[in-house]
Structure 1
């Protein structure tokens, strides 16, 4: 597996593909896929992938492997994801062809209030939603993993938790090829960790993070995992729950025993749509992932990218313009559908995509200031909701006034220049029967809130920051929010996580996902196109350089060294504000090839790897 240093310096290979007909040469490092006949696990860390594949070797199924891998990630990638966080899962049964979606995302505590992060002047208090106890939402990982295992697992619960217990108790050696994600998390979130005495004791030596080659042992976490293996409800009603609630009360946090006891994962209907011969399924709200993945692909429609050639300026221009439209709609309409009306079917309808496609000028990039979320009249034509519905009218009005404010609100500019998060973690599993799991989970920013509950080793999330603290203001990723995503007790904050499963002719074709903040969605779009349209193997599809546009700020992010000068020059000529940046994301995926074999790869931008047999 290739690290960042290798990604840019040690080995530079010419990315030559038979589909290239446009005159360009792109430099990139391509990770070679693993090919196996029977089963495969791919995750963001080799030890976690090994934990998952060990379950399959013991006769377990895709769910057993996914649960074991997720628990192991909670130990070996503590900066990215863990049992103090939440996430989403997609699973497919080969026998029935049915795809299910599980929401185990964190929820706002009962004591949470709409303006809890504002001062007396109505301004957002710095770091209040990101650092410390007040930033923590009620975790859902343990409940989610237990729920899917209880229904569909084959091995015992104790068996699937065991590898994580061993990794926490005996420790593991930090890789000498530490990924840029780890380095970024350490640099950006060091103070949050140092501010919590327990986190400081576990993750640092004399105030400095453990270094490559050091052994990280987490004995308190091992003890908590043992209790969870014995009784998963200990996290929500037992001794762990009591310890969490007590520490929250002492330190001004909001989570109580009532919050933990009330937490339940939610089975939701996946969002599915057609792209060419494929059926694409992903997460519905409160994730924005499925909606905007399908929306962007619908806008691209039947455009023949393959004839143009890979990364032709026409293709990149169309993708970028489609991204702007989708993220404009995201800013206004996506929230927790259990609390607000979300016009999902309208946003993913081919008719709506056709209308928005007609607005794209293939010669000129439209400024974001001229791209609006779908207007009220158009939604009225597509929706079954009455135009006079109070809830419907409310968020349309709020969204329009919000857009006007944010486009003229200079105080948010500083938030809009930040990089996308690379925390969060994804894992992909396909078993011998071709059952598949695609699972993304997170504690949000690196090391979450920075809070570890004493004597538990459990690092807690800061996903309260994914709510809108105040209309017109940005969260830590620079994402502007509105009232549809306002803080409400037991509400789930909006997410970008996009675990995805793709089928063709009723058979599994691919399972894929990635971390990366709001850039999760656009990464999946490009990986899907690389596999389905350009016929790349999955290693090349994941390694390929990426673009990202999220409407605001009005800049097209491209990975440095990933695009040739003539292509960037042509995009600039069309009006794109190009910003070359460091790489983002840490995708992984498994593809079923024409002969029925499995082909899997982990992103060279990270330190993950596939395991199979």
Structure 2
């Protein structure tokens, strides 16, 4: 009787809400349109750096490297040469899509149980200090992209970043808040004289202050003069990295840097309503599970619903629980385990997951599915996964040039200001990517020498049903990268939004860990009536300030349509 009463109330409320307008966007929509080239990044000066390179004749890869280096200067808390990332590239001339994987790797000293003890957990050694630092990959990754697919020299593409580092940029309030929130770890691991974001007394620089980073400029120049191996991985920068790591309690050797290498990978591929998706393969889980999410949602008439309406958010939340249950069990570095990628991205498998979702019930216990029958049973492996909680300090940017080449790139140092450890001679932050490994030594995602920690980064490129470029998009936000990119794709394809409309809409997130479903998180500017409806349906709704941050470019009406997230300092710049 209770369930019948709830069903009647729910159906009545659905009728009431059927005409409810889409929830208001987070901020004023600021779509940018251009014909010749565009960069959408988390900071205007970085976007301008990429555009400057294209205006000088560079292609999208040249501009991407310039943008990444400029972000190291103006957004050093989120990415830089002390970290790593992924870059998805589509070449206009051939249509080929590749993924450049420059994710960090665990040092040779790593052991599966290095974070398992109660003391290690109490001291947070996977998050702070030298033992949290993995071998940085971004320098070699950007160099590889530039020399293999670009047209300009490192010195040419690094020039805007070097200029920004030497001349300085104006700090804004959002950045001041981030510095204040992380002041303790910056001062714990560094001489304040070596931290460009603090004043001479060790206090955070204020909004309006000029931030200059001449030491970082020297690092960029040295890489251009000597190349990444002689400058960074087997040279003065690398030696300074090792010294900083070990001084902060780590155990890294120059041999760890010497043996680091970049991988050129085939993208994960899928389709959604005839649109083709290209995204990141393992050790990122992002591309695989975005495809899995979209495969589940493809069974539903999403385009006939209200954008961010209760029906849509119910099915989205339930689908995400199933996706993250699978992520926990099956995903990791494919150099160390078999991952059923074909099964996880199979539409037939997604149909079995969809059939587990009930229209008027909410899953509280969520076990992973079995994708192996849709993969190769010969590779079937039983193992223990782990739901590592990735952090929000990541950055994404998208680039399109006038030839139609596309770059989608996501980069990170993990937490804001990474490990807290900076390289004093060269002024950049070192990652704490080791925290993306599991603390459980029996997990397939436990640390091992040379292993890449599991990621959710998802630089994605979408083609239309005719095989033409349609969109390049990606996000920051740990697990919520998967959530965000999936919703952006549906916002554009199902609801017909422009790029910035899609980005500024409120977002939702849910997941499952160890068989237990999370609460349904909704950004706090969602329509209040929708929250009432979701609560009545059985969802435990939690409102939060933001879910992910995103940048993207849409091809629309013969123009490039850029959108950038007001949840950060995102700005699209075109010409």
TM-score (norm 1): 0.87
Any residues of structure 2 matched to 1:167-566 within 5 Å, and which? 167-175=164-172, 178-179=173-174, 182=175, 185-198=178-191, 201-202=194-195, 203-205=197-199, 206-231=201-226, 232-233=228-229, 234-367=231-364, 370-374=365-369, 378-386=370-378, 392-393=381-382, 395=383, 398-399=384-385, 421-470=391-440, 483-504=443-464, 505-552=466-513, 554-561=518-525, 563-566=526-529
Task: Name the CA shift for 1:199/1:86 in 2 (closer, same or farther; >3 Å).
Answer: farther
The answer on whether the counterparts of 1:450 and 1:459 sit within 8 Å (CA) in structure 2 is yes
Any residues of structure 2 matched to 1:30-179 within 5 Å, and which? 30-119=28-117, 124-175=121-172, 178-179=173-174
Task: Name the CA shift for 1:199/1:63 in 2 (closer, same or farther; >3 Å).
Answer: farther
Aligned to 2:11: none
Q: Look up the SS of the partner of 2:335 in the other structure.
A: coil
Deviation at 1:134, TM superposition (A): 1.2
Task: Name the CA shift for 1:250/1:423 in 2 (closer, same or farther; >3 Å).
Answer: closer
The answer on whether the counterparts of 1:44 and 1:609 sit within 8 Å (CA) in structure 2 is yes
The answer on whether the counterparts of 2:340 and 2:372 sit within 8 Å (CA) in structure 1 is no
Q: Look up the SS of the partner of 1:78 in the other structure.
A: coil
| Among candidates 540, 555, 570, match of residue 577 of structure 1 | 540
Task: Name the CA shift for 1:254/1:565 in 2 (closer, same or farther; >3 Å).
Answer: same
Aligned to 1:11: none
The answer on whether the counterparts of 1:30 and 1:539 sit within 8 Å (CA) in structure 2 is no
Q: Look up the SS of the partner of 1:485 in the other structure.
A: coil
Task: Name the CA shift for 1:380/1:529 in 2 (closer, same or farther; >3 Å).
Answer: closer
Matched, 1:592 2:547: no
Structure 2 distance, partners of 1:469, 1:335, is: 14
Structure 1 distance, partners of 2:247, 2:23, is: 56
- Provide the aligned C-alpha RMSD in A: 1.9
Structure 1 distance, partners of 2:57, 2:434, is: 39
Q: Look up the SS of the partner of 2:552 in the other structure.
A: strand
Aligned to 2:570: 608
The answer on whether the counterparts of 1:332 and 1:484 sit within 8 Å (CA) in structure 2 is no
Structure 2 distance, partners of 1:597, 1:286, is: 34
Task: Name the CA shift for 1:25/1:248 in 2 (closer, same or farther; >3 Å).
Answer: closer
Q: Look up the SS of the partner of 1:600 in the other structure.
A: strand
Structure 1 distance, partners of 2:192, 2:324, is: 36
Q: Look up the SS of the partner of 2:463 in the other structure.
A: strand
Deviation at 1:487, TM superposition (A): 0.5
Structure 2 distance, partners of 1:435, 1:328, is: 36
Q: Look up the SS of the partner of 2:521 in the other structure.
A: strand
4+ long deviations beyond 4 Å:
none
Structure 2 distance, partners of 1:274, 1:251, is: 46
Structure 2 distance, partners of 1:506, 1:199, is: 53
Structure 2 distance, partners of 1:327, 1:132, is: 29
Structure 1 distance, partners of 2:280, 2:136, is: 19
Q: Look up the SS of the partner of 1:124 in the other structure.
A: helix
Aligned to 2:8: none
Deviation at 1:184, TM superposition (A): 5.7
Once the two structures are superposed, residues 361-384 of structure 1 have per-residue CA deviations (whole angstroms, 9 ceiling, x without a partner) of 0111111xx21012xxx4442231
The answer on whether the counterparts of 2:509 and 2:547 sit within 8 Å (CA) in structure 1 is no
Task: Name the CA shift for 1:379/1:35 in 2 (closer, same or farther; >3 Å).
Answer: closer
Structure 2 distance, partners of 1:301, 1:495, is: 25
TM-score (norm 2): 0.92
Structure 1 distance, partners of 2:123, 2:368, is: 29
The answer on whether the counterparts of 2:24 and 2:505 sit within 8 Å (CA) in structure 1 is no
The answer on whether the counterparts of 1:88 and 1:499 sit within 8 Å (CA) in structure 2 is yes
The answer on whether the counterparts of 1:118 and 1:125 sit within 8 Å (CA) in structure 2 is no
Aligned residues: 550
Deviation at 1:204, TM superposition (A): 1.1
The answer on whether the counterparts of 1:193 and 1:200 sit within 8 Å (CA) in structure 2 is no
The answer on whether the counterparts of 2:333 and 2:451 sit within 8 Å (CA) in structure 1 is yes
Task: Name the CA shift for 1:101/1:380 in 2 (closer, same or farther; >3 Å).
Answer: closer
Structure 2 distance, partners of 1:125, 1:316, is: 37
The answer on whether the counterparts of 2:343 and 2:372 sit within 8 Å (CA) in structure 1 is no
Deviation at 1:242, TM superposition (A): 1.9
Task: Name the CA shift for 1:68/1:123 in 2 (closer, same or farther; >3 Å).
Answer: closer
Once the two structures are superposed, residues 392-436 of structure 1 have per-residue CA deviations (whole angstroms, 9 ceiling, x without a partner) of 13x0xx35xx79xxxxxxxxxxx98xxx74311111000001100
The answer on whether the counterparts of 1:289 and 1:521 sit within 8 Å (CA) in structure 2 is yes
Aligned to 1:409: none
Structure 2 distance, partners of 1:199, 1:459, is: 13
Deviation at 1:122, TM superposition (A): 7.7
Once the two structures are superposed, residues 262-307 of structure 1 have per-residue CA deviations (whole angstroms, 9 ceiling, x without a partner) of 1111011100111012001110111010111000100011422222
| Among candidates 531, 546, 563, match of residue 568 of structure 1 | 531
Structure 1: segments with no counterpart, 5+ residues: 1-19, 404-414, 472-481
